Structure 1
Amino acid sequence: MSKFVVTENFNHHSNEIFPGNYQNDIDSVYKEEMAFLEHSKIFISKDDQGDLLGTIRVLKWDFMSVLPIQKMFGIDPFLCTEGNDINEIWHIGRFAIKKGVRDVNLLKKLLVSAIAPICTHKDNIAFAEIDAKLLRVLKLMGIKAKIVGESIEYLGSETIPVCMSYSGLIDFYNENKNLALPEQGITGSNSYKLPNKVVFNAENRNYTLV
């Protein structure tokens, strides 16, 4: 998954030109995800040959680990809550779809699977670092994300820190929850494989969430 996420970021945003520290980026992503594994769920989609088509990871924050938004942007998640009651804080990341895959249902399936636990309580909130192009797509799809900091260059693209509240996600979730996987909760031992095939073809959605 780590190699797939890094590779697809550079495929989409850098015309498949990989930097000299490409392997270091993969190692960094891998080490970070292994540290989060106990509180994470990873969703993947593969083709009939077993090759990855898409990935996403959702992480329930334990309030002790350093979230990517803290490490990359120096943002305190609690300062983004505007004094509202908070039940759980989540982080969504490692979202990537293979370049050339033309399937909007795959995009929706990955997204709705990841946001499902956030949509279980009105006081939940999620953070993410999102490619600028993907952020525009999410808004068109009805996901309301609030920008909470200045963008940086990361894995070949302009990356923007955002937070997403229950109220900003629930409409999208209700419209697409039929696509979500049945299993919910937190696990450190399993990843969940999406169905190999989806049936709706649409315009290319070659964007990533890191």
Structure 2
Amino acid sequence: MEYFNFCSLSNKDLHELAEFVVTENFNHHEDYSDLEQFRAEVDDIYHEEKSFNDSKIFVSRDNDQKINGSIRVLKWNHQDVLPLEKLFRINPQDIIKNKNTDIWHIGRFAIKKGIDKTGFGVFKTLMAYALNEVCHNENSVAIAECDAKLLKVLKLMGIEAITLAEPIHYLGSETIPVLLTYNGLKKFLDKNCHLMTKTASDLHQSVVLQRTA
């Protein structure tokens, strides 16, 4: 019997998150053996996540309490330098003209390679928790950077994704910046809200879901 324990991640576990994200991005996309570059990528993600004050990170842990899925959601404060600007030189204020729109960034999405039978369920559950944060206000949009495979999955699930720039090679894959509209996000959340056994605010206490192997 396999268990998936969904919980929010505390700041003391940010390095664990960074290692998981870098490891799984390269596991899914290309062979990776440069230890020095691996450590540099991990440190970069760790320090970036540590600099965000108001982010929420949701993870899934396995029977051994190891992370097997992650996602991070952040309401932009118009000061933090988001990956969209860092990697693509795009200022969110240049694409979102309405100053009253809440701009969210969704990132650090990763699923452990090898849990294919249950990985999609983990994906949808983590997405539901993240989008539950975004969709409190109808005047909200989200931005994200995702690889081509993930972008295809998002569109198949009815999440409207508008490409903002040409892709770049990042963390082992071609990465594309996208704008996610409120209507598409809310449609997905309404369809999958049953996956959240507790509200996101209650996730300081873990939520254990049982799955058959």
2:199 aligned residue (170, 173, 182): 182
Task: State the Cα deviation string for residues 71-117 of structure 1 (Å, max 9, x = none).
Answer: 11001212222x44643111110110000112221110011111112
Counterpart of 1:141, as a letter, is: M
Identify if the C-alpha distance between structure 1 residues 77 and 195 changes in structure 2 by more than 3 Å, giving closer, same or farther: same
1:157 to 2:170 alignment: no
1:141 to 2:154 alignment: no
Match of 1:93, SS state, is strand
Counterpart of 1:67, as a letter, is: L
Q: Structure 2 CA distance, aligned partners of 1:198 and 1:170?
A: 26
Q: Is the 8 A contact 1:46 1:194 kept in 2?
A: no
Match of 1:99, SS state, is coil
Structure 1, unaligned stretches of length 5 or more? 202-210
More contact order relative to length (CA 8 Å, sep ≥ 6): 1
1:53 to 2:80 alignment: no
Q: Identity rate of aligned residues, in percent? A: 44
The residue number in structure 2 matching 1:2 is 18
The residue number in structure 2 matching 1:74 is 89
TM-score, normalised relative to structure 2? 0.84
Structure 2, unaligned stretches of length 5 or more? 1-16
Identify if the C-alpha distance between structure 1 residues 122 and 14 changes in structure 2 by more than 3 Å, giving closer, same or farther: same
Q: Structure 2 CA distance, aligned partners of 1:116 and 1:46?
A: 20
Match of 1:75, SS state, is coil
1:97 to 2:111 alignment: yes
Alpha-carbon RMSD across the aligned residues, in angstroms, is: 2.0
Counterpart of 2:91, as a letter, is: D
Q: Which of the pair is proportionally richer in helix?
A: 2
CA drift at 1:118: 1.4
TM-score, normalised relative to structure 1? 0.85
CA drift at 1:194: 4.8
Q: Paired residues, what number?
A: 194
